[in-house]
Amino acid sequence: MPRTKKQNADIKELSIEKIRDAGLKLFATKGLAATSIVDISELAGISTGLMYHYYKSKEDLYAELVKSAVTSANAAVLEVAEMPLSPMEKTTLLAKNMLESIEKYEMTAYFFVLMPQVFLNKLIPKKVKPFLKEVLLPKEIVKKIIIAGQQTGEIVKGNPDALSVFFFSSFTGLCTYKLMMGKQFILPSVEMVTAMLLNKSYK
């Protein structure tokens, strides 16, 4: 009995998800240059032919993953920034959301580890370069939250650029250690992550 359109669509979606997950893991741990189409198809558990059916090259997959990471990160941070919350509440919610994502979704850690490599790689495909302009946008949004919080006394004094970099580098470091330590990794609490930013004396 032939498959229905929905069944075919579900199979396609599952195959693409497997390819994306495999590609992300390999790009984050081996880099673009050292990763081959065969590597990706083997880890995804699909044929190389099917891999090429969905992606003409590993560069196409790489570009899609970078675009997805940048777009989702920017949207998530912007959503919190636009909420009618205080700077302290926004900072706490951002930290909470990111920690929950790291804890619940395996791919989050790989995305955090991949992005610095993308930004520093001088040989990235041309189709990826336009997205580099947006990689640091979340940092700039958090910088504005920090400045607003410093004005109200909710955020500690200090260079807002340095504080926003500290905020995001904390999550990159946590994701790196999660991949390094595996099951031994213990995720810190929201209070631990925000301790260096929030003014404890604020009332």
Q: Which domains does the chain have, with CATH numbers?
A: 1-56 (1.10.10.60), 62-203 (1.10.357.10)
pLDDT at position 194 is 93
Claim: this prediction has a pTM higher than 0.75: yes
pLDDT at position 76 is 92
pLDDT at position 124 is 80
pLDDT at position 10 is 59
pLDDT at position 190 is 95
pLDDT at position 23 is 93
- Whether residue 121 contacts residue 32, with contact meaning beta carbons closer than 8 Å, is answered with yes
d(CA 7, CA 9): 5
pLDDT at position 134 is 84
Assign 200 to helix, strand or coil.
coil
pLDDT at position 5 is 60
Q: Is 3 left (phi over 0), alpha (psi -120 to 50) or beta?
A: beta
pLDDT at position 6 is 59
d(CA 59, CA 46): 18
| Average pLDDT along the chain, 203 residues, taken 10 residues at a time | 59 85 93 92 91 90 91 92 95 96 92 88 81 85 95 93 93 94 93 90 69
pLDDT at position 121 is 79
Name the CA dihedral angle for 57, 59, 65, 66, rounded to a multiple of 10 degrees.
-160
